[in-house]
Amino acid sequence: MKTSIILPTYNEKDNITELIQAIFNTLEPENLPFEVVVVDDNSPDGTAEAVRGQFAGDPRVKLFVRTNERGLATAIRYGIEHSDGDILVFMDTDFNHDPAIIPQMIKFLEYYDIIIGSRFVMAGGMEDRFRQFSSLIYNYGIRLLFGTPVHDNLSGFFSIYRDKLLSMDLDQIYYGYGDYFIRLLMVAHKRGYNMLEIPVFYRLRMHGHSKTQFVSTLIQYTTALLVLRFKLWTGRMR
């Protein structure tokens, strides 16, 4: 079966071509059919131009540039809708998510419904200790609030079969920023999906600057959690 790796980008010129090449280096020896789908939100730093320059004519790389919309969650959904793999893998483009574990994420789908790259299982972690501690505490609160078994509800590095994902109501999930992943996991848990977390270690960003602002993201995620709790309680999320 074919795998689509979805890469949403914004101002990742210094990372994106290196990441795509790392994905090639990981998957080519495995003889796995795959495509890389880059969804760029019209980055002013020339991210799309870098992809075109490096991979022009390579049928394994699809590049889409959105000029009328911007946002992580909607970019990911756009990638889903413009990919054709039976298996979907989602990852960040700043090398927080290690391409080397993609083959595991594909293989383990034989036994589970969702594979999650997790910082909070044995051998996982982060080089940024403050972010690791704050994310650990926040994830603990999510587990208490929703009663789910997932340790890293903020990862966004995961794999799933296309039909499993498309059976969900994507309108209820794909909006906002990284909070979309919390909603996805809650729906999956409610449906009884079997989820496996495998360890990942987040290193510091090599190039560029993070788009995540700690305080504003905390407020956004907390608001999204309260809305999600209400929707689940009233049966509006399924």
Q: What percent of the chain has pLDDT over 70?
A: 95
pLDDT of residue 210: 54
How far apart CA 8 and CA 175 sit, in angstroms, is: 14
Using the predicted structure, report yes or no on whether residue 50 has a pLDDT greater than 70.
yes
pLDDT at 214: 59
Provide the pLDDT for residue 203.
85
Task: Return mean pLDDT, the chain.
Answer: 92
pLDDT digits (tens, 9 = 90+) for 59-90: 999 999 999 999 999 999 999 999 999 999 99
| In contact, 187 and 168? CB cutoff 8 Å | yes
Chain position carrying tokens 């495995």: 30
Q: Is the Cβ–Cβ distance between 23 and 100 less than 8 Å?
A: no
Q: What is the number of H-type helices and E-type strands within the chain?
A: 8, 9
The mean pLDDT of 94-115, rounded to a whole number, is 96
CA distance 188 to 179: 15
Residue 190: which H helix or E strand, with range?
helix 179-190
For the chain, domains (ranges, CATH) are 3-233 (3.90.550.10)
Answer yes or no: is pLDDT of 235 > 80: no
Q: What is the pLDDT of residues 184-225, one digit of tens each?
A: 999 999 999 999 999 999 987 655 555 555 577 778 878 878
> Taking residues 158-171, what's their average pLDDT?
97
120-152 per-position pLDDT tens digit: 999 999 998 888 999 999 999 999 888 889 999
Residue 170 reports pLDDT greater than 80 = yes
